[in-house]
């Protein structure tokens, strides 16, 4: 199975300041079709997860543009340009390149 | 709009089975795979498997192979997840999620399954 490792596991941030989460996979996430199926999910307290970013850098419909994704191969990053109160929650990276689909451990973003 | 509505919370004894439903609406049921993901209390996300609502074909995570069964009823646009031989570590919230090719674009609200003697 592909292991997804996120850092940091906890990220206290000041409102209005940027935040960054890294995700590293144990093997390349480039699919045989040439795409890289790495997505980022946000889970607010008490809610199901929701997708923010898919295929490394594509923002899902309705996701604010302060969220951005980047990376390639085995190293990926989610950035929040200016953290808002509603961004509090746990963020997961997820790979869908190979079965079983696997998730990172999650990074808790909280306001400092 | 797309909706996935799951059945209510369950309490089961060790060794029993549980079946969770995921009723979909707002789109063509046969057009998207339905996946199931588990979240133990205070923990991360774990993929259980997926079903092709069109063919009924399934893929399962090896760690659940033999214990999980995914089915669907196309007449009522509903997917089901049955987990057998329950143990206390199976306690958690079980989610169904619709896949848009290789990511989840819609999730159910989650179903809490508690395994306790």
> Tokens at residue B82, please?
């049955």
Place of tokens 């899902």: A60
B52 touches chain A (CB under 8 A): no
Q: Are A15 and A68 in contact (CB under 8 A)?
A: no
Q: Which residue of B has its CA nearest to A98?
A: B102
Per-residue pLDDT of B56-108, as tens digits, reads: 999 999 998 889 999 999 999 999 999 999 999 999 999 999 999 899 999 99
Per-residue pLDDT of A5-24, as tens digits, reads: 999 999 999 999 999 999 99
Dihedral over Cα of B29, B21, A60, A57: its sign: negative
List the 67-96 stretch of A: residues with Cβ below 8 A of B.
92, 94, 96
């Amino acid at each position: 199975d592909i292991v997804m490792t996120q850092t940091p596991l906890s990220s206290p941030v000041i409102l209005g300041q940027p935040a960054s989460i890294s995700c590293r996979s144990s093997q390349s996430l480039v699919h045989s079709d040439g795409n890289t199926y790495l997505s980022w999910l946000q889970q607010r307290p008490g809610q199901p997860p929701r997708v923010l970013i898919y295929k490394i850098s594509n923002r899902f419909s309705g996701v604010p543009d302060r969220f951005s994704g980047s990376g390639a191969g085995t190293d990926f990053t989610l950035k929040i340009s200016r953290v808002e109160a509603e961004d509090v929650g746990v963020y997961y990276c997820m790979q869908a390149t190979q079965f079983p689909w696997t998730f990172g451990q999650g990074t808790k973003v909280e306001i400092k | 709009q797309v909706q996935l509505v799951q059945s209510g919370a369950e309490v089961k004894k060790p060794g029993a089975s549980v079946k969770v439903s995921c009723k979909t609406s707002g789109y063509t049921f046969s057009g998207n795979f339905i996946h199931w993901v588990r979240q133990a209390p205070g923990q991360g996300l774990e993929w259980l498997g997926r079903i092709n609502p069109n063919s009924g074909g399934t893929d399962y995570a090896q760690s659940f192979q033999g214990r999980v069964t995914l089915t669907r009823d196309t007449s009522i646009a509903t997917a089901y997840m049955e987990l057998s031989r329950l143990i206390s570590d199976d306690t958690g919230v079980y989610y169904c999620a619709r896949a848009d090719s290789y990511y989840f674009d819609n999730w159910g609200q989650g179903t809490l399954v508690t395994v306790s003697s």
